[in-house]
Structure 1
């Protein structure tokens, strides 16, 4: 395994030996620091992208108490993050959820986890890239349209691919730059809004403005809580690059928790600042002001100032796409290294010059680009496909939570640098309960007047992806091609 000359030889040798004991060798470059690893997860989570994208929809749906969704969802996802930390600490293998599932349960379960997660990540890349269009239009001063959004998304995806092909060092530096820009930008904009543009009292976060759905506020709040559910899932990206950071078993769990803590606080701060800066809350809730973010920024910063803010938002979108693409490429490489996917010979190759999986990065650019292009011809179909983005990630996460619970039932005792000890089982159960509730909430039909395939888009897209994966698995039997360790986590604990 090649190691950077910056690394002390004992650490490099220890990492190589640990990986060898897990059944692998690696040509990745272990140059990513703890903070760079955290920055990768932070920009993948991207509080600015998450808050700004869904703020208008969720504020109109649930009113200012939507703010509390970020706290509640953050606590739920922290439970999942803690379980992931235990797993990656013992199995710091590139690719994240796929190798973890392989060791906890077995090859078949791992193949389905990898399949669902890779599709979800590719769809997420497409969704985030397309979502950047209106913000670039606002920054450049032209009206967005479906066609311009597609062009912008394709250019952004190409740019992300070029950056990722440049190597781990460039990826780490871009992630760090994106993190600093996003965090500083969110704090500066938020502080200015709180100090100079407050139009609402702090008590407004408890004011439902008499929003009711079938006589109850709860359904409205559950709809508004989607703001948080579409945000807190960048922490697993820290583990996707486990072979690119020294001492991963110790550092990655820390980076994962930092992603939740710092990303969550930044998102809550940005959301609170926007809520308190809304000039007319009734206009938002009644649908008169359909874009309160634009209203707030134009009112606070003027035309030119709001364009500067949009520039910061665009940096957030760009770094988010880059981080997402890095994550899916490592997953595909890990998949291919175990011969679990078509084209494994090419996809598992690591460039001797840049030490990144070139073919896997190419696929992680082409597939999202194809989805983006479909939007030019089939907007409704693409909307259904994109609906799989968040729920697919949640499904893959919960398959790891279930896998950890299954392994515990068989006698697995986490033995990495980070463990929950006696709290492991209750946290595991709590993570499963949260995840199941979140998936039900995300997929619940909420628009009786819409076509059935719109109301059930998440369920439909999930059924299609899972069915195709099962069919391929049954016919091609990819799980039978590799004799690498599988389903042995509990044996290691004996």
Structure 2
């Protein structure tokens, strides 16, 4: 099958297009354009990202940390544009794994999907762990390690049940979560600016002494985790490609909307919170470790703050649901292609619910294990978020790199969405941004800490990749898979033998 025929035809029927790619889907196309966008938005979840990382970012680099949201937003938009071209041509469930499979091959795709899957599981654990303290505040009990873990497991269980109910319920949950989160962001941010503002916009350029004793750039780079953590989720729009009507057109639009709307909402909430923190130096010094709860209590009173916290918790739940949906589709795509141990279970499909139940269950059990393991780390949330962000970025950039390689070898995107002459420069810029982000996240910044803590992000990335390579060597399931792969790059004409590496071209 040539990727420039059935798979790439802009007017192709989704079922026909999928069949031309070698698959017959068991999913139901119950997800419209707004539900698809809402899934990406609630996965990105500006409320979750800001409320989870705001205290860390403000304490590390002061109010200027907000500019990392702008930088990360532009960089991830470039990545989203590259993904848009890929998913328009290959609208297959699972996201980065099937995309890398068509752009490069089975082994590369296996490792790409492995890194991304582990990062997704850890991200789910990070989101539900971040919700724990807010549950404690809402119901008035101490946010101890054990209570946070129990609350996290509770949210995880609810999300897993919802994900088992099918695409239509998932779509409805995504739309409800989007509406609640956007209204919450606008109402909370607007009320804070109207009633609780203690500073003007000038503080966005004032570090208040954060990072003193070192080059401020290092402090800003560390605090940029808030921007990095905020801007993924748009890829979830493509993870459910087989459940979307007209995916070649709808998914690229949903990806871009996720970046635009999610980025604007996140920046608005972060600015409103920063202007409402009365004593920024107290946050930087560590005297006020929870500025968000203090600001909400002051602005809304005890009863009002609990209402806001309820909206925040709904955002955490909807984010978890969307993350699990993405992870479940990725695990299912591995199973369908017979690429991993347990494939016979992961590819099983509920004909009543039209979901892969065991793949969804896996996306609940593994994050639960990570949450339980966090009991043994004092700063577990920061470590979880750090690795999750690194793993997501690494998985993204493996796809971006595969797309660049494919372009240089002759791939011409043939889906309903194409960048045309801008494809190559956007691809290069996306790769440069992503590699810079990976280096920023992995760079050791705590020389006073034990070496394994100082290099925890880099080490975790190396361990995950090494385990993936070890698995591939011991259990080469990818070699048994006969699903299509490496078909984005045009094959040479049958009457022209492919030139060997190093062989003269004859020109």
TM-score (norm 1): 0.95
Q: Larger deviation: 132-141 or 473-482?
A: 473-482
CA contact (8 A) 1:61 1:220 kept: yes
Which residue does 1:92 correspond to in 2? 91
Superposed CA offset, 1:221-261 (max 9, x none): 21221110011000010000000001101100000000000
The correspondence of residues 146-185 of structure 1 with structure 2, limited to 5 A, is: 146-185=145-184
| Structure 1, 380-389 or 350-359: larger mean CA deviation | 380-389
Distance 1:293 1:493, change over 3 A: farther
Asked whether the 8 Å contact 1:62–1:220 carries over to 2, the reply is yes
Moved more, 475-484 or 17-26: 475-484
Q: Match of 1:399?
A: 398
> What is the match of residue 444 of structure 2?
445
The answer to whether the 8 A contact 2:97-2:110 is kept is yes
Which position in structure 2 is the counterpart of 1:123? Answer: 122
- Give, in angstroms, the shift of residue 13 of structure 1: 8.5
Q: Does 1:471 align with 2:470?
A: yes
Cα separation, 2, equivalents of 1:493 and 1:317: 50
1:348 equivalent in structure 2:
347
Alpha-carbon distance in 2 for matches of 1:212, 1:368 = 33
2:490 aligns to what SS in structure 1?
helix
* Structure 1 residues 73-222: aligned runs within 5 Å: 73-222=72-221
Superposed CA deviations along residues 287-318 of structure 1, whole A, max 9, x for unmatched, are 22221111211111111111111111100110
SS in 1 for 2:415: coil
Name the CA distance, whole Å, in 2 between partners of 1:138 and 1:301. Answer: 14
- Structure 1 position 197, deviation (Å): 1.1
Show the counterpart of 2:311: 312
Deviations 1:65-87 (A, max 9, x none): 11111111100000001000010
Distance, in Å, in 1 between the alignment partners of 2:216 and 2:37 is 37
- Give the corresponding residue for 1:338: 337
What corresponds to 1:228 in structure 2?
A: 227
Whole-Å separation in 2 of the counterparts to 1:468 and 1:167: 33
Compared CA separation, residues 126 and 215, structure 1 to 2 (3 A): closer
SS in 1 for 2:414: coil
CA shift digits 1:461-486 (9 cap, x unpaired): 11111111101111211211112221
> What 5-or-longer segments of structure 1 have no aligned partner?
1-10
- 1:412-491 residue pairs with structure 2 within 5 A? 412-491=411-490
Q: 1:285 Cα deviation (Å)? A: 2.3
1:385 touches 1:461 (CA, 8 Å); kept in 2? no
Query: For residues 299 and 124 of structure 1, what CA distance do their matches in structure 2 show?
Result: 31
Unaligned runs of 5+ in 2: 1-9, 494-507
- Mark the CA change 1:217 to 1:384 in structure 2 (over 3 Å): closer, same or farther: closer
Q: How does 1:246-285 map to 2 (within 5 A)?
A: 246-285=245-284
CA distance in structure 2 between the partners assigned to 1:237 and 1:74 by the alignment: 16
> What are the residue-to-residue correspondences of 1:320-331 with 2, within 5 Å?
320-331=319-330
Which whole-Å CA distance do the structure 2 matches of 1:490 and 1:307 have between them?
55
| Cα shift at 1:12 | 12
Distance 1:387 1:268, change over 3 A: closer
TM-score scaled by length of structure 2? 0.92
Per-residue CA shift, 1:166-190, capped at 9, x if unaligned?
0000000001101100100010000
Q: Secondary structure at the match of 1:230?
A: helix
Q: Confirm or deny: 8 A CA contact 1:43 1:175 kept in the other structure.
A: yes
Instruction: Tell me the equivalent position of 1:50.
Output: 49
SS in 1 for 2:226: helix
| CA shift digits 1:333-364 (9 cap, x unpaired) | 11111100111112112211010001101111
CA spacing shift, 1:156–1:223, aligned 2, 3 Å: same
- Which residue in 2 is equivalent to 1:7? none
Rounded to whole Å, the distance in 2 between the matches of 1:286 and 1:471 is 44
Match of 1:243 in 2: 242
Measured against aligned partners, the alpha-carbon deviations of 1:70-123 in whole angstroms (never above 9, x if no partner) come to 111100000001000010000000000000000001000000011111111111
Change (3 A) 1:77 1:295: same
Query: Counterpart of 1:8?
Result: none
Provide the aligned C-alpha RMSD in A. Answer: 1.8
Residues 338, 481 of structure 1: 8 Å contact kept: no
Number of the residue aligned with 1:5: none
- Residues paired across the two proteins, number: 484
Task: Point out the more displaced range, 164-173 or 453-462.
Answer: 453-462
